[in-house]
Structures are given as structure tokens and as C-alpha cells.
Structure 1
Amino acid sequence: MFFRTAFGLTRHFSSTVFKANFGVGYHTAPVRNAAQIASGITILAAQTPIAQGRVRQIWDRPGYPDQVLKTIQPGKRAKFAKRSRLRRAVDDIRFGPYRTFRIEYRYYARTAFKCLKAQRPNPIAEMGGLIATDQGLAQICEKITDASGALASTLKVLIEANALDDQKLRWLNECIETLFVLNISVPDLSAENIVFDEVRQRCLVVDGYGDKAKIPFRTWIAYLNRAKLDFRISNKIAIPGRLEWDSQTRRFFLP
């Protein structure tokens, strides 16, 4: 009931705010003006994304050095703008181009509850709420950094630089162990969405989690999810001669 209510309100908020400020709904690229700034919309266009992937862009949140904002790529949002009015009305019910946010919030809450009961640290980076920006809705997330305060390195970067030491390997295995033990679904798990927090000495998943299937079999059946995790790790993360994976013990090791 909470999520149904919360996301119903959020969906109404997103539609109302973007139509009020941009005039044509959140599907169309916005044009900045003084009214938008006065309305509290966060302006990101003056800066460059600090990272980006196929679906999202990541920005420093102005005024909050320990937070980042995740927005949907303009091309992904534009696809929704080209759809028919009827199709867009149906999309609105499903949160439009921001459907992935809704899935992740629900799954993050479920994972946090599991971790609380099991008294394990949450392997997913902390998330906040949603805010309106000139790049559409943005998801507030904690900024994961290295010891110097720079954006944390991904597992992919460390593997390519041969910089994965025993300490980080231990953090990685602790994170992966929690995914298996608590049956946490990360269907898009890869070396690019695993990062190392040197400040709090932990490894975190920052993207690719949540069961996006219409019928969430992997959430219901632990065996299927664990098989998927093992497949992703074996084929998308482990690299013979650099980072090895043992499917029996479910642990990484250095050659």
C-alpha cells in the first residue's frame, strides 16, 4: 500500500511539475527560464555528466558534494515524445521513461528490509528521493568515492589496471555473498556497475538491480536468481588470468 500510494503521488508530481514548467509534459526536452529556476528546478545543463551509460547520465548534485543525481538519457526520453497520445497516456500510468526508477525504489526497499532482518550491510548504494531538473526527473543517490574524494573506481577499471588488491577482493566477495545469500536480483550485473567505497571500506552495486520481468520468477524462485547471478559473474565479470570465479564456493580469487 505504501509504494502504491507513494508512487502514485510521485507520478502525479512528475506529470504536474513538468507540464507546469515545460508546458508539454516531461517527454520533451525542457527550455530553461527564470520561472523554472524560481520554481525550484535544479539546473544541470551548465555542467557535464561525471559518468553515463546506455540508459542514464550521472551528475554531481549542486550544493551537495556527497550526492549525485541520476537522469535518463535524452534519447531515451525522446522516444516517449514520439509516441501517440494514447500510447503516452498508457506510459504515464507506468511512470513514463522513468519506469526503471520505480522498479529500483521498490527493489531497494525490499533489499534493505532483507538486510535488516539478516543483519547484513546493504550491497546496493543508498538512494534518496526524486527531484525535478532541467534534464527531467532525477534520482538522488549517495556519491561513492575513493580515499581522495574522487569518484570511486569500478571493478572494470581496477581489473584493467591490475589494481585489485586482497582488501578490495575481500570487499567484493562480501558483496557477492550477500547477493547470493539474500537472493538479491541483479539481472544486469557487470564489472561496470560494481564500485569500491574506500571511505567506508565496502563494495557496492550501483546499477542493474531489480527484477524487471512482468512475472518475477527470479524473485520468487531463489535457484533461478542464483543461476542468473552465477551466469552473469562467469560471463560478464570474471576474466581468466586476471580475476577468477569459483562457482562452487561462489567466490572470486586472484590468479
Structure 2
Amino acid sequence: MASKDFYGRFSSRLDISECKFETAGSLKRVYTHPDMPDVVLKIVDPERTSGDARLKGESLIKRTNPLGVYRGFRRELTQYLILSRRWNEDERGAPPIAVPCGLVSTTAGLALVTEKIAGEGDELAPTLEKLFDKGTLAVKHLTAFDQLFKDCMDMHVVLSDMHMRQFLYSENRSGRPEFVVIDGIGEKNMIPLRSLSPYLNRRRLQRARDGIFDAIFARYPALKLEWTGKQANASRPELESKPAS
């Protein structure tokens, strides 16, 4: 039987009003933990749920899932467990997804605790969408974004609903430019075809990456020229070291 000390440490709910609000998406809200500034809490927006932790207006098929709104947490944890078996941090560095650390009960419902991808100071790192909107994208960002997708393809990481706001850019996390996936992690389909087939997953990731690149290049054609030139030079190593005439 668990001791009173165990219940004192782990069974009390965290007051969400004591946590710093960071950002919100269409379904989740994100807070920084009050005692651990390097992790964030992801909760499902209480305004979107009914009393039994299900989404309001949810279809009958989805209502058969006993996890309710927490099925997204399971997807993320499952994908991280699978990735942990394949990913060697000693060789490859930090993984391409924000690392989940556990679950905690809060006054706003169950929260998934994950690594905080920080930017300057204690703020969240900027999303690709923010860099896109501000016009601050450069070749280094495209290189990091392309590498993220290569890693996900190589390691058979399944991503869903891929949008610019799901990717955070940091140079602090690993001491190098990188994008990290913070949402839409794991297989959403009832029949997990992409989890079963590396080929189908790679094809879906390629389409998503190419679609985002197309959107960037449509807004910033000069960046496309710079990126295309860099790719051409990379395919001809002798040009990289050739001195200018």
C-alpha cells in the first residue's frame, strides 16, 4: 500500500492558475510548470470538453475510445517510446520531438509534461509560422527544417496535421540550429498505415515538407534562389572549396 508521503507528493493536483500561460492551439493550452521552468504542461482546453473529458460534439465513433480527449497524449507517448528504441542520442544528439516527461493532474484536467523548447530568456522558442510571418527566415532555418524531416523519415517518426505552428526553432537546445516538433506527434488514423509502412510515412512526410517549402518560396522568392543555389553547390563539393576568381 502506498505511503502517506507518496500521496502527499504525487496525488495533489497542480493549480493551473499558478502556472505561466505560454500559448494555445485549436485544442490544447500550454503552460510553464511553476517549479520546473524547463518543462511545459499541455492540457486540453476545458472549454472544448464535456464533463467526462470528451470533446464537445464528438462523433459516435470517437466516443467509443475510452481515453477520450487524452488519446492524443497516448499517441505522443507511444511515438516517443518507439523513437527511443531507434534513436541513439550519443550519435545523433537530441531527438526531433519535444521529450515527454510524464503526466500530472491539474485543476484543469490531466496534463502531459514535456520538455520546454526555449528561445531567448525563458520564452518559448519561435515557431516556423512566426519566422515566416515576420520575414526572418534564412537558409539556416530551411537547412534545419529539412534536416528535421530527414531525421523523421530515417527514424520512421509519424507526424500528423503538419503545420508551421507545430515546429519550434532553437539554437540553444543542442547548440546548433534545429527545429523541434511539439505537437501532432504520432498516428491518428484508426488503421495505422503509416506506423506500419515506412514507405507510406516517408511519402506523407515528403509531401508535407514540400508543401511548406512551396508556401515559403511563394512568399519569399529570393530565399528560394538562395536555397536552390546552396543545394546545387552541395551536390558539387568541389564548388564549396573553390576560391572566388
Return the TM-score normalized by structure 1: 0.71
Residue equivalent to 1:238: 214
1:208 Cα deviation from its structure 2 partner: 0.7
Q: 2:208 & 2:20 partners in 1: Cα distance?
A: 31
1:185 Cα deviation from its structure 2 partner? 1.1
Find the counterpart in structure 2 of residue 213 from structure 1.
Answer: 189
Q: Which residue of the partner structure matches residue 170 of structure 2?
A: 197
User: What residue is the counterpart of 2:72 in the other structure?
Assistant: 100
Q: Does the 8 A contact of 1:187 with 1:229 survive in 2?
A: no
Matched, 1:147 2:120: yes
Q: How far does the alpha carbon of each residue in 1:82-123 deviate from its partner, in whole angstroms, 9 at most, with x for none?
A: 89xxx99x9697322211101110111101222229943411
Identity percentage of aligned residues: 26
Measure the CA separation in 2 of the matches of 1:57 and 1:138.
10
Shift in Å, 1:169: 2.8
In the alignment, the residues of structure 2 paired with residue 41 and residue 92 of structure 1 have an alpha-carbon distance, to the nearest angstrom, of 27
Secondary structure in 1 aligned to 2:151? helix
Superimposed CA distance per residue, residues 42-82 of structure 1 (whole angstroms, 9 cap, x where no aligned partner): 10135563101111100111111111100011133227468
Inter-partner Cα distance in structure 1 for 2:47 and 2:163: 23
Report the Cα distance in structure 1 between the residues aligned to 2:161 and 2:180, rounded to whole angstroms. Answer: 14
Q: 1:155 to 1:93 in 2, by over 3 A?
A: closer
Q: Quick check: 1:67–1:143 contact (8 Å CA) kept in 2?
A: yes
| 8 Å CA contact retained: 2:53, 2:68 | no
TM-score normalised to the size of structure 2? 0.73
Cα distance, 1:168 vs structure 2: 2.9
- Listed as ranges, the gaps of 5+ residues in structure 2 are 1-7, 232-245
Contact 2:54 2:69 in 1 (8 A): no
Whichever residue aligns with residue 128 of structure 2, its letter is L
Which amino acid is the alignment partner of residue 155 of structure 2?
Answer: L
Seen in structure 2, the aligned counterparts of structure 1 residues 117 and 148 have a Cα distance that, compared at 3 Å, is: closer
Aligned length: 208
CA distance in 1, matches of 2:205, 2:64: 32
Change (3 A) 1:187 1:181: same
Superposition RMSD in Å: 3.2
Aligned to 2:48: 76
Per the alignment, residue 135 of structure 1 pairs with 108
Runs of 5+ in structure 1 lacking a partner? 1-35, 250-255
Q: For each residue in 1:113-135, what CA deviation from the matched residue of structure 2 results, as whole angstroms up to 9, or x when unmatched?
A: 22229943411011100000001
